[in-house]
Amino acid sequence: MSVTPSSPDYIIPKLKAETIASLVKRGTRLDGRGLHDIRQVEIIPNYLPKADGSALVKLGNTQVLVGVKLEVGTPYPDAPDQGVIIVSAEFVPMASPVFEPGPPDENAIELARVIDRSIRELGAIDLSKLVLIPGKKVWVVWIDIYVLDHDGNLVDASSIATLAALLTAKIPKAVISEEDEQIVVDKTTHVAQLPLLKKVVTVTVGKLGKALIVDPDLEEESVLDTKIIFAISEDGRIAGIQKSGPSSITKDEVLRATDIAIKKGRELIKIIEQAVEAAVKQAEIKEEKKVEEVKEEKEEALEAKESAVEEVTEGEEVEETSETIEAAKEKEESKEEEVTEEREAEEPVKKLEEKEEVEEEPAKKEAAPTAQEEKEGQPTETKQEEKEEEAKEAKREKVEEEAGEKVGAEEGVGEEESSKERKTSDEENLNSTQ
């Protein structure tokens, strides 16, 4: 006969066992709780981020971790249009001195069977919605239970963690190929919540003497006469009852234990629902914050980009303005240079003209014919004209020599030679005229 998870090897002193029994008779317990009080329950949904659903539960000092994973598998031959549920339990050796490493023992197997029956018999999961290809491929729901710390009542702690994990479980995205019916699963994307029809938990009621206590701890379990495990739904339905222990139990005690279990089962389901709702809201808030942070980061990046573009544009405008100013300065300088060159070019001409004007006055005086020359006739006038021309040529030679110094020695030499030739020809003409 299989037994429920317990610690038969855990032995407490006889005096302590008598103390526990004496306190229970008086309606109290060693840790100060009432007979029907449950230890403090702490639930952390979505404890494993890579699982499709998970929860860590602390019931007093008892800690249980449950992970839910969905994989594609083959349906059972007698249920081709339904998904599959597989529950396994493992007692981690560090959880208790009485746990040993190796394959699951009878206690771990019995724990898994109790949780499996409570879910399956009540139809907690809608298995008809887990079919991918009828008769060929369905979703297999793996429920893995890990006992991390054993301080009594492992069944209730495991059922609480299992329900919380199922409430947070989501179905991954599956793409079915029409040609060869191959299924590709995308674990990073979830398309829907796991379809739950009922919420169910277990409530353990122990008998010690004539008293009934709820949620016995490890020391109390070691001194109990017997205990009954009830699987209760949120609407008060009983999915299963299991008794363990050597002592008998009367019909009235069973009925009283049933009433206690239904009441405590509904309380536990409300606690689980509140914890999951709070976790979902917190997750939504975190997601909103992430979205806002991403939005703010994008806005900041856009503003930085716009400011960078503005800085570049301003820099280009400044460069264009400086280039325009420099171009204007260059134009002004070139104009000034042109004006200066024109002035420099005009100065020799002006000087030449001024010199000619200055030198023409004495030449005119010298060239002015006397009364006697006028009387002597034409030869005298011709002579006078030649003198004037010679004087002009001499002036021109001087001016050309001055200009030749600026232009070049060769040009000056050429001018002198040409002026000499002209002078020679003028002298020859003068002699011939005389």
Per residue in 388-429, pLDDT (tens digit) is: 777 777 777 776 666 655 545 444 444 455 555 555 555 555
CATH of the domain at 143: 3.30.230.70
DSSP 368: S
- Sheet order of strands, 238-244 included: 211-214, 200-208, 226-233, 238-244
E strand segments, 194-299 = 200-208, 211-214, 226-233, 238-244
How many helices and strands in the chain, by DSSP H and E?
A: 8, 12
State residue 374's pLDDT score: 45
Residue 183's contacts (CB-CB under 8 Å, 6 or more residues apart) are: 72, 132, 133, 137, 174, 175, 176, 177
Q: Is residue 234 part of a domain?
A: yes
Q: Is residue 9 part of a domain?
A: no
Among 299, 324, 348, the domain-final residue is: 299
Euclidean distance between CA atoms 201 and 243, whole angstroms? 16
Considering its fold, how many domains does the chain have in total? 2
| Paired tokens of 136 | 């060929």
Q: Is the torsion defined by CA of 327, 328, 330, 334 positive or negative?
A: positive
Q: Is residue 113 part of a domain?
A: yes
State residue 361's pLDDT score: 54
Q: How many C-beta neighbours within 10 Å does residue 167 have?
A: 22
Q: 108 and 26 in one domain?
A: yes
Among 284, 299, 314, the domain-final residue is: 299
Q: 280 and 170 in one domain?
A: yes
pLDDT, tens digit, 9 for 90 and up, residues 277-336: 998 888 888 888 888 888 888 888 888 888 888 777 766 665 666 667 777 777 777 777
Q: 154 and 40 in one domain?
A: yes
Q: 58 and 150 in one domain?
A: yes
Q: Is residue 167 part of a domain?
A: yes
Q: 255 and 166 in one domain?
A: yes
To 10 degrees, what angle do helices 378-407 and 409-433 make? 170
pLDDT, tens digit, 9 for 90 and up, residues 141-200: 999 999 999 999 999 999 999 999 999 999 999 998 877 778 899 988 889 999 999 999
The pTM score is 0.67
Q: Where are the alpha helices (DSSP H) in 368-377?
A: 371-376
Domain that holds residue 92: 14-299
Q: Is residue 328 part of a domain?
A: no
pLDDT, tens digit, 9 for 90 and up, residues 247-262: 889 999 999 999 999 9
**Residue 274 pLDDT level (bands cut at 50, 70, 90):** very high
Looking at the predicted structure, is the pLDDT value of residue 367 above 50? Answer: no
DSSP 215: S
Q: 255 and 389 in one domain?
A: no
**Residue 420, amino acid:** K
Q: Is residue 358 part of a domain?
A: no
Backbone φ and ψ for 151, nearest 5 degrees, come out as -135, 35
